[in-house]
């Protein structure tokens, strides 16, 4: 990742932690964690930021070893500071396009609002596939390129801090990129993931995508990745 981008994330770490530290955003992290495979031993969160997905995964599967990766030291510091458990979380400063983990190390790889930010998305997806064990699962929440209904957003949360955070997120991802479910599903299949499936997140502002790494001898199926469009 370019040094300028890393510097930006360092500077914005505290503000990002404040903006996303509310129930509406946490609900999207909980929704992602609800799709984790049963009883995962090891979960890796890419671009973990202040640790929202890590905390959701730990709440759902307390016995799991949850590891967070981020390029920004201050983001990792925010994750450590806000961690709900007594034991410190496992945090690694690294580039998601060159992960310092062995192949097949994790039962699940997750990320929330991350893939759209990286300059080489294919490298990140290739690394996610490499560190996943066969039969493991990839879970993403990314900005959706389709139309957004204000009523659905307000039904998700009316918290002013949530509304401010997603308004800023929407403005930022207009520049950095949004995803159509069908195009993202095709990209995941190109990296060997099976049956990618999409569902709305954050009141329709985002897309929650689940895809599995085929077991030995398995192959990627057609999936249901075109809803929503």
Supply the range of the domain harboring residue 161: 3-212
In a domain, residue 178? The reply is yes
pTM tops 0.85: yes
In a domain, residue 157? The reply is yes
In a domain, residue 121? The reply is yes
In a domain, residue 112? The reply is yes
Confidence at residue 99, expressed as pLDDT on a 0 to 100 scale: 98
In a domain, residue 76? The reply is yes
H or E stretch at 162: helix 160-176
In a domain, residue 82? The reply is yes
Give the CATH number for residue 96: 3.40.50.150
Confidence at residue 86, expressed as pLDDT on a 0 to 100 scale: 74
User: What tens digit of pLDDT does each residue of 118-153 get?
Assistant: 999 999 999 999 999 999 999 999 999 999 999 999
Indicate if the pLDDT at residue 111 is higher than 60.
yes
In a domain, residue 228? The reply is no
Confidence of residue 226 (pLDDT cuts 50, 70, 90): very low
The total of structural domains in the chain comes to 1
Confidence at residue 3, expressed as pLDDT on a 0 to 100 scale: 59
For residues 144-178, b (16+ Cβ closer than 10 Å) or e, as one string? bbeebeeeebeebbeeebbbebbeebbeebeeeeb
Length of the chain: 229
In a domain, residue 227? The reply is no
């Amino acid at each position: 990742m370019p040094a300028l981008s890393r510097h930006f994330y360092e500077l914005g770490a505290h503000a990002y932690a404040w903006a996303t530290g509310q129930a509406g955003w946490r609900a999207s992290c909980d929704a992602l964690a609800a799709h984790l495979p049963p009883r995962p031993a090891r979960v890796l969160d890419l671009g973990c930021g202040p640790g929202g997905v890590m905390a959701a995964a730990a709440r759902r599967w307390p016995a799991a070893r949850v590891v967070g990766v981020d390029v920004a030291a201050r983001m990792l510091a925010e994750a450590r500071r806000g961690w709900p458990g007594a034991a410190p979380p496992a945090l690694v400063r690294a580039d998601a396009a060159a992960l310092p983990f062995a192949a097949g190390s994790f039962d699940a790889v997750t990320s929330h609002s991350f893939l759209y930010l990286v300059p080489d998305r294919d490298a990140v997806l290739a690394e996610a596939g490499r560190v996943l064990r066969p039969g493991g699962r990839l879970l993403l929440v990314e900005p959706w390129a389709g139309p957004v209904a204000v009523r659905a957003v307000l039904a998700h949360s009316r918290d002013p801090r949530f509304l401010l955070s997603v308004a800023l997120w929407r403005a930022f991802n207009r520049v950095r990129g949004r995803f159509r479910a069908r195009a993202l599903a095709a990209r995941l299949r190109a990296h060997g993931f099976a049956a990618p499936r999409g569902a709305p997140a954050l009141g329709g502002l985002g897309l929650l995508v689940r895809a599995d790494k085929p077991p030995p001898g398995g192959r990627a199926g057609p999936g249901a990745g075109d809803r929503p469009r």
